[in-house]
Structure 1
């Protein structure tokens, strides 16, 4: 879902609970994966991966509705969404982001 007035994008992800940490599958971003030691770190990395991948794209992929995402894997895997502020990534990639924002990575 895209909120036109705010440049916010909402994309589904699948969190896979691993022996150590989490891996994150991003179905709408051409087979993209990331990982994190904590659930929050995994979510933040997924958000950053989506934002940096889509910031220069002329056409954004249509987010798959969360209800259409099927989790086939092991117990403990969950589907959820992350919200991305595309304007933030546009500023960051153009070098206009503040030092505080650059620390988000």
Structure 2
């Protein structure tokens, strides 16, 4: 059995040229895995900052429709990124649980 058949594919926190998902096969300790971890961390921090900004805007009755449309667009992008991170981490947790139940 090859190494690739025994390791789970990780959904990466970015997409390919035409928006298709990108995957990494490996043990999670390589360079691309570390880059992906860093990108996920930045994306989650940005989502947190965006939520704070949205809360401020919702309390500001002078926010224009254009400003609200802009922030909703950014929220959509951020939610898409956070959802991808959650799917990736959930899949890796499921694989880890199976491996824990069936050690080699």
- What TM-score, normalized to structure 1? 0.26
Greater CA radius of gyration, 1 or 2? 2
More helix by share: 2
